[in-house]
Amino acid sequence: MKGKRLKKTANSFMKNVVILICSQLLIKLLGFIYKLVITNMEGFGDTGLGYYSAGYQIYSLLLTLSSIGIPSVISKLVSERIAIGDTKGAQRIFKVAFKFFTTLGFILSIGLFLGADFIATNILNVPDVAYVMKVLSPAILFVAMSAVFRGYFTGQQDMKPTSVSQTLEQFLNCVLTITFVYACIGKETYIMAAAGNLSTTLAIIITFMYLIMYYRGNKIDTSESIESPEKRKSDKQLLKTILGISIPITISSVISVISGVIDTATVSNCIQISLQNANMTKEALEQAAMSATGILSKVDTLVSFPLAINLAFSTALTPAISEALAKKDKATASRRLSFSFFASLIIILPCAVGFITLAQPILQMIYPTASEGAGVLMIASVSMILTALSQTMTGGLYGVNKSKIPAIAAGLGAITKFILNMILISNPNIGIYGASISSFIYQVIVFVICYRVLNGSVNMHIKFKSHIIKPVISVLGMGIVVVIGYNILNIFFGNTVSTLLSIVLGAISYCLFILLTKTLTKEDIMMIPYGTKIYKILLKLRIYKEEKEPLQ
């Protein structure tokens, strides 16, 4: 009976992970498509992408203040209430949170619109970025409200509205961005960038309407709720509970976003400093700064694909661990955390090695008119491994009520990054590479702190040989196959065909190495959807041997 229950909870957890992975992949694919199209449009390029991302980074900072930590907080509190049968308490948490964050979102929307000119001129040193921030400002309000809805449904272990709404939003954003930027061809680059970001605001507003309609038909059933401990609390007391958890999470998220803002501000200013002896006009310096910012944006778009897959584990992990601990089931919490950490490593390693070995061919294939940045992509790929593992551990820390730790870790990392950016980027011999180097140091700091604290709270059961050594051996073997394969293929085919075939070759070889080294145990395979069928096939192929059941 216990075995069936464990299998059911594992399947439920993995089902949520798979739903989120599929939606996140589609979201990133759509995001990649529209950035690919507009970057290669006449008059846009790296410079247009620089304007586009510079304004978006400032918007993201305020967006984080109003919403980013909220889905995790609301999902945690709602799942805890539901786990003990207190559905009225769960519903009340949602209502109190919705009122507060709607107000906060409205204030920050007005603040960005009114402060756009000051930020663009005095902080970024590129006045025309103000247009991008102004068209994005209304979106903050609607994202804040949407975040509360998404946390509410995630807390019920219902990933459908989050997945559908985010996918719908990105689809609309993709179509509208391409349409609006195309309509502005021939105009100034910053006008094209602002037109592209206007589509983001429109897509978010339309998606919010979907969440309202879904909520009306899928409210929590409070008819059989137990006596709610929350009933005796005032709205202020409930809000204090919500903010007590959300503020550390939001600080952590803000600091993570500040990493991008630090890049935007320091790159914009430091690139101009590094080129001050090149006898360039102020306008030319601004263009060079925006081009460098555009290169970082391209790289971020590429590395966001694997991180999107990994983010699914982090998102599903918070309510899953909170639910297990609310039921005093530490074994399940530890098992889910350990598997998520291992799965993150299995997913992210081949992506990182793939980017490192094929950096220039990939950029040349995707951005034929703006293919600079291979070195930046290589460094970012190494940082990506630590980012993915930190994402997973952050979800675990939120679940065990250690939400202050990611904030502290990210704060120390951000201070270090800012100092390094100012030193490295201003050096004309290092330039834009300085941003990638400092990001790597930032991620090392976050990873070390989060790992030490989380492992002390929930034993992660990381097995060095099977969880680290075997995946590393597999990915090194894959890297060798990819390098040899690309060099041979490139003799007979062009870059695009050679790159695509090398990626396929790498994926196949990695899977074979994983199987040959028996990196995945029977228990790991069973955690995967359709794991039973996959394991039976592996037995038939004699890759695995049937494990004997221990005597009772």
How confident is the model over 499-529, as pLDDT tens digits? 999 999 999 999 889 888 888 777 777 766 5
Q: Which pLDDT value is given to residue 209?
A: 92
Span 353-372, average pLDDT: 87
Per-residue DSSP letter, 368:
T
For residues 519 and 506, give the distance between their C-alpha atoms in angstroms, rounded to a whole number: 17
Average pLDDT for residues 76-85, to the nearest whole number?
A: 78
pLDDT tens for each residue of 406-420: 888 888 888 898 899
Which stretch of DSSP H or E encloses residue 345?
helix 330-357
Per residue, what are the HEC states of 477-507? Answer: HHHHHHHHHHHHHHHHCCHHHHHHHHHHHHH
Closest CA to 165 of 143, 138, 197, 140: 143
- Give tens-digit pLDDT for 479-503: 999 999 999 999 988 899 999 999 9
88-102, 361-375, 444-458, 515-529: range with lowest mean pLDDT: 515-529
* 69 band by pLDDT with thresholds 50, 70 and 90: low
Q: How far apart are CA 252 and CA 419, in angstroms?
A: 19
Please tell me the least confidently modeled range out of 56-70, 156-170, 345-359, 477-491: 56-70
Which is more confidently placed, 149 or 217? 149
How confident is the model at residue 494, as a pLDDT?
87
Q: How far is CA 258 from CA 44, 359, 407, 440, in A?
A: 26, 26, 12, 15
Q: Which pLDDT score is estimated for 484?
A: 94
Quick one: pLDDT band at residue 352, thresholds 50, 70, 90? very high
**Span 35-45, average pLDDT:** 81
Average pLDDT, the chain: 80
Taken as a whole, the chain contains a residue count of 552
- Tell whether the model's pLDDT for residue 201 goes beyond 50: yes
Is the Cβ–Cβ distance between 112 and 133 less than 8 Å? yes
Q: What is the mean pLDDT of residues 100-108?
A: 89
Query: Per-residue pLDDT for 153 more than 60?
Result: yes
Report d(CA 31, CA 526) in Å as an integer.
33
> Under a CB-based contact definition with an 8 Å cutoff, are residues 128 and 164 in contact?
no
Q: What is the pLDDT of residue 293?
A: 77
Instruction: Report whether 219 contacts 77 (CB < 8 A).
Output: no
Task: Please compute the mean of the pLDDT values over residues 105-127 and round it to a whole number.
Answer: 87
Type of residue numbered 209: M
Q: What percent of the chain has pLDDT over 70?
A: 84
Which is nearest to 469 in space by CA: 511, 514, 499?
514
Average pLDDT over residues 345-360: 91
Q: Which amino acid does the sequence have at 349?
A: L
Determine the pLDDT at residue 448.
92
pLDDT for 349: 92
DSSP designation for 404: H
Rounded distance, CA 304 to CA 38, Å?
Answer: 18
Q: What is the pLDDT of residue 255?
A: 66
Q: What pTM was computed for the model?
A: 0.66
Contact 207, 214 (CB under 8 A): no
Assign residue 85 a region: left if phi > 0, alpha if psi is -120 to 50, beta otherwise? left
Higher pLDDT, 525 or 447: 447
* Three-state SS at 464: helix
pLDDT at residue 230, as a whole number: 60
**pLDDT value of position 343:** 79
Count H helices, E strands: the chain?
A: 19, 0
Report how far residue 227's alpha carbon sits from residue 223's, in angstroms, rounded to the nearest whole number.
11
Alpha carbons 290 and 53: distance in angstroms, whole number: 9
- Distance between CA atoms of 491 and 497, rounded to whole angstroms? 11
- Which tops the pLDDT comparison, 269 or 322? 269
For the stretch 306-315, pLDDT in tens is 887 776 666 6
- pLDDT at residue 297 in the model: 78
Tokens found for residue 320: 């899953």
Q: How far is it, in rounded angstroms, from Cα 395 to Cα 152?
A: 17
Are the C-beta atoms of residues 55 and 260 closer than 8 Å to each other? no
Question: What's the average model confidence in pLDDT over 237-250?
Answer: 76
Helix 87-118 × helix 45-63 angle, to 10°: 130
pLDDT of residue 67 exceeding 70: no
Short-list 462, 329, 369, 521, CA closest to 45: 369
User: What is the rounded radius of gyration, in angstroms, for the C-alpha atoms of the chain?
Assistant: 24
- Amino acid, res. 550: P
- Is the pLDDT score of 133 beyond 50? yes
pLDDT at 85: 77
In this predicted structure, the answer to whether residue 317 has a pLDDT above a threshold of 70 is no
* Cα–Cα separations (whole angstroms), residue 551 to 4, 36, 548: 19, 59, 9
CB-CB contact of 274 with 421 (8 Å): no
Give 440's pLDDT tier (boundaries 50, 70, 90): very high
For range 178-188, the mean pLDDT: 88
Tens digits of residue pLDDT in 220-230: 777 776 766 66
pLDDT of residue 3: 45
- The tokens for 108 are 């920050």
